[in-house]
Structure 1
């Protein structure tokens, strides 16, 4: 088998490996079909690790494949089924896991492709507890976007922000993988959508997704536009993942009692905060990382019902690094999906 590994900072190599003859107990072996690119992959590629890790490391945090064999004490009926892989290891025993909040596991073994070997390999062995079935009728390239992207957005908007029909939301970087997904999910939930983008081309595509108001942040100040378009009221929810560049004005874009939910900080980890606005406006801030297993399951049901991710392009495994470069330059609209090698 082959695996795409990070062997040094900003250096990927396709490595030949010996496929272990036996699948570990309580695990399943998947023949990978698709993996996707995320900023998490870019952070790891650039050496921005948030915990100890050992190189070489197989990359890829998000993907889908078919079960080809199982270990002892695993259900033989799993063989042949398409499965998405939960992106981080969890213990299943701590209070958070027992409550179904696996993304808050206190004994987490780390994120695949970042702390532990990931999914960009011909075959991957993972615990059966980390597998989420792909419903019939859902394309595998779409299902590959569930574990990190779609489920993260679902957890942010449904579990944390509790976005409701008739409310308004500002989605930052609407052309990104999670931004475009947030627009589609917010529209499905019945919200009015404001979105920021960095080019006129992305603005047209974002309107086509269903955004009611699109703001080119290179030409307009989004805070001013939001306040004007809402009669100075502001929006009910802000979907943040940009970080330092947008943080202060994102908070000021909120209506009284508004909610800001954030899952990333691609432009920096420190930002100025107007504390008086925070408490005077009764603002609620939710930090959100990943999603519980239930979020992946709910996302699969939404895909089955027709709420699909936006696919920028599907590239071969050999172009993984080129895809990261495009992600770094923000030359994407939606998700870059990597097609693994057929048998």
Structure 2
């Protein structure tokens, strides 16, 4: 079968790999139809793996497809049914997994497409517990945005930041895949949304999504604008995933007792901060990584209810590298997908 494999830094090749064996007990084989691109893919493409990996490595960390075959003992799924796949090989046995918190697995085997062979191939076999049925009204391309993009935002906003209806939130990089999802999810519960973008074209698109206030961070200091717009009170929540470039400005945007939730560090991995400001203002800072399987189900339910992802571009599998280049250029607004 065809697979897109990484042979070295920035060396992606469309190759032929052996067909899979039939699924074993408790397993499901899925025909992959769509793969979502994320910064995780970009980090792997650049050679930024934080653990040893065996090359060549099949890429792709987020995907959806159709059930091709069922192993013995699998219930609740049928051949031809559309499904989304969880993006990490969790153990299913530790306390975190038993409680449905797979993103805190104590014995995780690795992230698909980063540490382990991923989804950019025609077929993949997974434990049935890592496969989530897709509602009939949700397209397979939209569903491919659920395991990381929507799931990550669902986990950040509602499990960690505890965002409540009517609160205010600053969403950084409002044109990104998770930024667009965060704007839509926050507006859906009646929040006032502030967002940062890198150009006025993205600003207009973010406003069309529902953002109440848009700040072009290339022409204005976002922290100054947010404080001005909130009459120096600040926002309840900051949705952070940029890192050092925005970190301290993000803290200045918080009201006393405000919550900052972060899932990324695209501008670097280290920063400094004012500890006196932290404890005097009683900020609550939460790290967030990935999502639970329940978050994927919640995301798919939201899609079925009409809260769909913003799709920037769809490429064929052979143009996966072109999709990564577009993501790296930061010209993207929404999600980039690859179809098989």
Query: Same fold by TM (over 0.5)?
Result: yes
Structure 1 spans left out of the alignment, 5+ residues: none
CA contact (8 A) 2:37 2:62 kept: yes
Query: What per-residue deviation string (whole Å, max 9, x for no partner) do you get for residues 156-210 of structure 1?
Result: 0010001111110000000000001000000012110000000011001000000
- Aligned-pair CA distance for 1:91: 1.3
Secondary structure of the residue aligned to 2:7 is strand
Structure 2 spans left out of the alignment, 5+ residues: none
The match for 1:171 is 171
Query: What per-residue deviation string (whole Å, max 9, x for no partner) do you get for residues 317-336 of structure 1?
Result: 11110110111110100000
The match for 2:156 is 156
Taking structure 1 as reference, are residues 96 and 21 closer, same or farther at Cα in structure 2, changes over 3 Å only? closer
Give the aligned CA root-mean-square deviation in angstroms: 1.0
The match for 2:97 is 97
Distance in 1, Cα, partners of 2:269 & 2:21:
44
| Residue 75 of structure 1 pairs with residue 70 of structure 2 | no
Residue pairs, 1:21-100, within 5 angstroms = 21-75=21-75, 77-100=77-100
Deviates more, 1:93-102 or 1:308-317: 93-102
The match for 1:202 is 202
Secondary structure of the residue aligned to 2:156 is helix
CA contact (8 A) 1:22 1:71 kept: yes
- Once superposed, which parts of structure 1, at least 4 consecutive aligned residues long, lie more than 4 Å away? none
TM-score (norm 1): 0.97
Distance in 1, Cα, partners of 2:221 & 2:307:
31
CA contact (8 A) 1:234 1:253 kept: yes
Distance in 2, Cα, partners of 1:101 & 1:124:
23
The match for 2:290 is 290
- Aligned-pair CA distance for 1:77: 4.5
- Aligned-pair CA distance for 1:52: 1.3
Query: What per-residue deviation string (whole Å, max 9, x for no partner) do you get for residues 78-104 of structure 1?
Result: 211100000011112212112221100
CA contact (8 A) 2:57 2:117 kept: yes
CA contact (8 A) 2:77 2:133 kept: no
Distance in 2, Cα, partners of 1:20 & 1:123:
7
Deviates more, 1:75-84 or 1:195-204: 75-84
Deviates more, 1:92-101 or 1:226-235: 92-101
Distance in 1, Cα, partners of 2:77 & 2:132:
14
Q: Count how many residue pairs are aligned between Structure 1 and Structure 2.
A: 340
The match for 1:113 is 113
Distance in 2, Cα, partners of 1:160 & 1:20:
38
Residue pairs, 1:1-343, within 5 angstroms = 1-75=1-75, 77-340=77-340
Secondary structure of the residue aligned to 1:111 is coil
Secondary structure of the residue aligned to 1:88 is coil
TM-score (norm 2): 0.98
CA contact (8 A) 2:312 2:334 kept: yes
- Aligned-pair CA distance for 1:10: 0.6
Distance in 1, Cα, partners of 2:194 & 2:13:
41
